[in-house]
Amino acid sequence: EAARDPKVVNGNPGARGVATGRARVVRTLAESERLEEGDILVCDTTTPAWTPLFASIGGIVADSGGALSHGAVVAREYGIPAGMGTRVGTQVIPDGARVTIDGAAGVVRIED
């Protein structure tokens, strides 16, 4: 369900935890070089080739997927929060914005 607040993006829970960091919208693996330690990865989806990125990110927000998707499973393995199936995360979360993700709720709040 879409959030009524334009600063909130709803998704599905993927991995528990709360993290605040800079959103980095990454549409292709080639763009991942822009990620820095603690960034919140905002993407369409992930595949096994994306797995090494999880070692340095603070959390993940994905447009597709659910609790059993690749991104959610790997996020749980790395102990980072994940919000999956947002449908619009890559469209409405500005690259570089400070965001807080609540993985247990699947909710992302755009702080600035």
Rounded-to-integer distance, Cα 13 and Cα 102, Å: 8
**100 phi and psi angles, rounded to 5 deg:** -120, 130
70 an active-site residue?
Answer: yes
In angstroms, the Cα distances linking 24 to 21, 40, 78, 89, 91 are 9, 6, 18, 11, 12
Active-site position among 7, 16, 22, 70: 70
DSSP code of 52? Answer: G
Greatest Cα-to-Cα distance within the chain, rounded to the nearest angstrom: 35
Residues designated as active site: 70
